[in-house]
Amino acid sequence: MTQLSSWFRVVIVSALVFGFIGSTGVLAADTALQIKAPANVYAHVYRSFPDIDGNEIILEARAKVGPNVGDSWTPSIMLYWFPLHYVAHGQTQDGSFRANHFNIKMSGKRSAGIDAGDWGDLRIVVHSEIQLHIRPDGGEWSM
């Protein structure tokens, strides 16, 4: 893998997303980001990934799934490098986890002890391969 640079981007697709009729709004309360948007809207926050020495990326986020999150765009963390070249890792409203990779949906029914509505940690590791990890609040990482 070549050296990674700032053209990598991080997309946090809704730390908390609620089906809300009205205008889109972003609230920061304590240390949590809450995104409220109308149903069927791709609400997201993004930022440039910092320049990196080496060839490993570790992206982590803490997330809590709210009600009515939909199925196509689960609240997720995403790492992308071109429009259709990305990996996403998130939790559905039934508590299962799903990964999307290069626009291919890969659903899983692993819950790692994290129920819908509970806080959980998500991790994407990119080195010579892409690894996805999950853990309950304060628990051990699992793949």
Dump pLDDT digits (tens) for 15-45.
323 222 233 444 444 566 777 777 777 777 7
> DSSP label at 43?
-
Q: What is the mean pLDDT of residues 76-105?
A: 76
Q: Which residue has the higher pLDDT, 28 or 63?
A: 63
In this prediction, residue 130 has a pLDDT band, given cuts at 50, 70 and 90, of confident
116 pLDDT more than 70: yes
Share of the chain above pLDDT 70, in %: 65
Q: Specify the DSSP element, H or E, that contains 136.
A: strand 130-136
With beta carbons less than 8 A apart as the criterion, state whether 46 and 86 touch. Answer: no
Q: Domains of the chain: which residue ranges?
A: 9-13+44-136
